Chains A and B, each alone.
Chain A
C-alpha cells in the first residue's frame, strides 16, 4: 500500500499530527466545555449562601478514584506492550484496564446508592447533591463510552491480534493511528477529568 492509495492524506501530513488524533483532542476540548458549564453552574449556586447546604461526598468516590487512576496506569503499559509487539502482555493489560474501568463504573453506581440510601439524599432534596448526581452522571456516561471502546479493542485483539507478526503489521502501518492509542488518550482524559471533578467537589463542599 502506497501513500497515494490513501484518500485523505496529502503528503505533508506526516509532518503534522494525524487527523484522527487531532479529532480526539478537539472532542476533548468540547467535553471540557461541557463540564465547564456544569461546574460554573455549581459555583454560581454554591455562592448563593441562602440556599446552599453542603452534603458529604460518598466515601466510595475514593474507591472510584483509586480504580480509575490504576486503570490509567495499566492502559499506559498496554500501549507500551502494543508498541513492543508483545501481543500477550497487550491483551492482558487491555483486559485489566477494561476490568478496572468497569470497576470504576460500578463503584460510581454504588456511590450513588450510598448517597441515596445511607445519606438519604434523593434527587431533588438538596441542590448540592443534585449537582453531584448530574455531574458525576455525565462523567459516568463519558467513562462508559471509553469502557465500551476498550471492550471492542479487546474483542479485536482476541480475533485478529494473536501473533507477533500481526502486531508487527499493525505497527508498521504508516498511515494509521492504532485504536489503542486513541482510546488511551481518551481514557487518560476521562481520568484527569474525574480527578478535576473530585478535587472540585472536595474543595466546594
Chain B
C-alpha cells in the first residue's frame, strides 16, 4: 500500500527525464490540486487553509477587543451573524465572549501556528532543501493534510451548534470542560472541540512521521547532517517534539471524553451544582493540567522553532553573510527540545504545586534562557557588518528577533514561581506569550512566505504592500501588547472589568489597544489580498535564484514539477552558508570545491552489482 505511494510519482519523474519541465502531467484536477501527494501542493494546501483560519481567528479577536475596548458599542447591526449571542443592547454576551477567546486561542495555536506554519514550510522545504524527490510517503503526507482539514471542519461546525462553541479556554480545563451543564459552551461544542483536536493530533503525528523520516533517510548525496540548513534542523526537532508530546494530549482528551460521556471521575472531584451533589468523586482536575501542559509547553516550541529556523535562513541570505555560530544554533535547538519537556509545571505554579517541585521547574524554565540567548546573539551577530538587503522577508525576520527579545524577557519574570503568583492569569501573561510566540511566530511565518513565495508560485509578492504590511504590523504589535504589561493585576479572560473599580484607569488604554488591534487586523487583510493577487498577477520570477541563496531549492526549475528536479538530484559539496567567501557573493551548496574530482563510478549504481 505504502509502496504504491512511493512508486506512483516515480513514473512522473521518469517521464520528466525525457520530456523536461515543459511536460505537463496527465493528472486530473482532483489528483493534482485536491488529493495531491506532491509535497509542494500539500504545503500550499496547508498555507492557504492556515491563512483562512488566521482570518477567522483574527476576526474573533476583533470582536472581543470591541467588547473590551468599547463595552458600550452597539453591535445590533451584526445581529444577522451573531444572532442570540448579543443582548438587547447589542452587547456581546459573556458566554459568547468566552467562546470567542477559546476559539481564538485554539485556532491560532493549533490551526494557524502549528499546521499553518510547520505544515507549510516543513512540507515545502524539507524535500527541496535536502534534495529529495518528495516526502518519504506522499500518501501519508496527503492524509496528514486531510485529517487537518477534517479537524477544521469539525471545529467550524461547533460554531453552529445551538449551545455555541467550546468556551472553557483553549486549555479546556475541567470541570468546565468535563461537565456539560457547567456552561453553554461546555455542551456539544466541547465534544466537537475534543473530537476536532483528536483528529488534529492524528494529522500532526502523520506529518511528523514524514518530516523526521525524510530528514533522516532521504538526503541527497553529500548532504551530511552538518550541511543541512538551519530551517531543516528546526523542522526536524519540531517534528520530534510533536511526535513525543501530542500523544499526551490525546490521552487527556480520551479521559476527558470518558468523564463527559461515561460517568467516570478521572478529572472530577466532589462537585455541588444547585445544592445537589454530583455522583463524581475523587477525581483531580490537576491531573488534566499535567497531561495538558505536557503537550502545552512543548507546543510553544513546536510553534517557535520553525519560525526560528526560517529566520536564521532569511537573515543569513539577506545579510549576505554566513549565519553566525551554525553549530551553536543546532545545539541550542537541541537544548530547547530537551528542556521543553521538563518545564510544563511552570504553567501550574498556583495550583498548589509543592514549592520544592516548583523550584525545580523554575530552574529548568530559566535554563531555557541560555539557548534562547545564544540564538538571539547569533542572529544579531549575523546582521553585524552584513550587506543587508531590506526585503520584506528580511524586515519580518529582524522584527522576529526584536519581538522575541521583548517577549522573552518577561518570560524570566513569569518563570519565577514567586513572581508568578502575582502575575498568573493577568494581562502580563497575555502580553508575554503574544509577543514571544504569537506575533513572533507570525513574523517568522511572514518572513517565510515573502521569501519562498517565488518558489511556491513562480511570482513575487508585491514589495510595496509588503513594506506597508510590515510597518503597520510591527508598530501595532508593540502598541497592542506593550501596554498590557502595565495593566497591573487586571485578570485575563474576563468579558468585562466594570466590577473592578481599579480597572477604570485602564479604560482608555483598552479602547486604544482595541483600535490598534482593528487597524492591525485590516493590515493583515492587505497581506491576504497581496497573497491571492500575486498568485495570479504578481511579477513573474525570471531567474532561478532570485535571492542569491545557496540552498538547493533554488536549483529546481522556476515551476518545479512533481519530483522537483527534471534530471538528476544535485549533489552537495559544502555547508549552506557560504556567503562572501573567496571573494564571491555566494557559493551554492551544489558547487564542488576547486579541484574536486567526481567519483569514477556511475551515479546510479545497480544494487545487484553493488553487492559484488
- A binding-site residues for B, Cβ under 8 Å: 2-14, 16-20, 22-23, 26-27, 29-31, 33-38, 41, 44-45, 48, 50-51, 123-124, 127, 130, 134, 138, 152, 174, 176-177, 179, 182
- Given A23-B140, A29-B243, answer yes or no on A17-B217 (Cβ-Cβ < 8 Å): yes
The 8 A-B pairs of least Cβ separation, nearest first, read A51-B282, A37-B251, A124-B263, A34-B247, A19-B136, A7-B133, A33-B247, A37-B248
Which residues of B have CB within 8 Å of A20?
2-3, 136-137
Contact B218 A174 (CB under 8 A): no
Contact B221 A10 (CB under 8 A): yes
Contact B2 A9 (CB under 8 A): no
CA distance A38 to B265 in the complex (A): 14
Contact B132 A10 (CB under 8 A): yes
Other-chain residue from A2, A9, A44 in contact with B290 (beta carbon distance below 8 A) = A44
Determine whether B281 belongs to the interface, using a CB cutoff of 8 Å to chain A. yes
Contact B132 A23 (CB under 8 A): no
Of chain B, the residue at the smallest CB distance from A5 is B10
Interface size on B, residues (CB 8 A): 67
CA distance A14 to B13 in the complex (A): 20
Determine whether B9 belongs to the interface, using a CB cutoff of 8 Å to chain A. yes
Contact B136 A23 (CB under 8 A): yes
A10-B131, A174-B608 are known; give 14 further A-B pairs, CB within 8 A.
A5-B10, A7-B7, A7-B10, A8-B132, A17-B217, A19-B214, A20-B137, A22-B216, A27-B209, A30-B244, A45-B284, A51-B281, A124-B263, A130-B265
Q: Name which of B254-262, B454-462, B585-593 contacts chain A.
A: B254-262
- Given A123-B262, A124-B265, answer yes or no on A179-B1 (Cβ-Cβ < 8 Å): yes
Chain B nearest Cβ from A154, distance in angstroms: 14
Q: Quick one: CB contact mask for B121-140 with A, threshold 8 Å, 1 for yes? A: 00000000001111111001
- Given A10-B131, A13-B217, A34-B251, answer yes or no on A3-B266 (Cβ-Cβ < 8 Å): no
Chain B nearest Cβ from A16, distance in angstroms: 6
Which residues of A have CB within 8 Å of B606?
2-3
Contact A3 B135 (CB under 8 A): no
Contact A50 B136 (CB under 8 A): no
* 15 A–B contacts, CB within 8 A, in A order: A7-B7, A9-B6, A16-B217, A19-B218, A22-B216, A30-B205, A34-B250, A37-B250, A38-B251, A41-B255, A41-B287, A124-B262, A138-B254, A177-B3, A179-B3
Q: Quick one: CB contact mask for B251-285 with A, threshold 8 Å, 1 for yes? A: 11011001000111110000000000001011110
Determine whether B219 belongs to the interface, using a CB cutoff of 8 Å to chain A. yes
Chain B nearest Cβ from A50, distance in angstroms: 7
Contact A124 B264 (CB under 8 A): yes
CA distance A127 to B281 in the complex (A): 9
Among B264-314, those with CB < 8 Å from A are 264-266, 279, 281-284, 287, 290-291, 294
- Given A33-B247, A37-B248, answer yes or no on A5-B14 (Cβ-Cβ < 8 Å): yes
Contact A45 B134 (CB under 8 A): no
Determine whether B542 belongs to the interface, using a CB cutoff of 8 Å to chain A. no
Q: Quick one: CB contact mask for B572-612 with A, threshold 8 Å, 1 for yes? A: 00000000000000000000000000000001111110100
Chain B nearest Cβ from A180, distance in angstroms: 12
Q: Label chain A's interface by main secondary structure.
A: helix
Among B217-244, those with CB < 8 Å from A are 217-221, 243-244
Which residues of A have CB within 8 Å of B351?
none
- Given A31-B247, A130-B258, A138-B254, answer yes or no on A41-B603 (Cβ-Cβ < 8 Å): no
Contact A44 B214 (CB under 8 A): no
Chain B nearest Cβ from A19, distance in angstroms: 4
Contact B213 A4 (CB under 8 A): no
CA distance A48 to B258 in the complex (A): 20
Determine whether B343 belongs to the interface, using a CB cutoff of 8 Å to chain A. no
CA distance A16 to B131 in the complex (A): 16
Contact B287 A8 (CB under 8 A): no
Of chain B, the residue at the smallest CB distance from A53 is B282
Which residues of B have CB within 8 Å of A50?
282
Of chain B, the residue at the smallest CB distance from A131 is B266
Chain A nearest Cβ from B1, distance in angstroms: 7
Which residues of B have CB within 8 Å of A8?
6, 9, 132-136, 218
Other-chain residue from B205, B218, B251, B287 in contact with A27 (beta carbon distance below 8 A) = B205
Of chain B, the residue at the smallest CB distance from A12 is B221
Contact B284 A48 (CB under 8 A): yes
Contact A19 B217 (CB under 8 A): yes
Other-chain residue from B247, B283, B603 in contact with A30 (beta carbon distance below 8 A) = B247
Which residues of A have CB within 8 Å of B209?
23, 26-27, 30
Other-chain residue from A3, A29, A123 in contact with B264 (beta carbon distance below 8 A) = A123
Which residues of B have CB within 8 Å of A37?
247-248, 250-252, 291, 294
Contact B563 A176 (CB under 8 A): no
Determine whether B245 belongs to the interface, using a CB cutoff of 8 Å to chain A. yes
Contact B265 A3 (CB under 8 A): no
Determine whether B210 belongs to the interface, using a CB cutoff of 8 Å to chain A. yes
CA distance A152 to B2 in the complex (A): 13
Which residues of B have CB within 8 Å of A182?
2
Which residues of B have CB within 8 Å of A31?
247
Determine whether B395 belongs to the interface, using a CB cutoff of 8 Å to chain A. no
Other-chain residue from B11, B132, B251, B264 in contact with A127 (beta carbon distance below 8 A) = B264
Determine whether B42 belongs to the interface, using a CB cutoff of 8 Å to chain A. no
Contact A123 B258 (CB under 8 A): yes
Other-chain residue from A14, A23, A45, A51 in contact with B213 (beta carbon distance below 8 A) = A23
Contact A41 B264 (CB under 8 A): no
CA distance A22 to B137 in the complex (A): 11
- Given A22-B213, A134-B255, answer yes or no on A6-B10 (Cβ-Cβ < 8 Å): yes
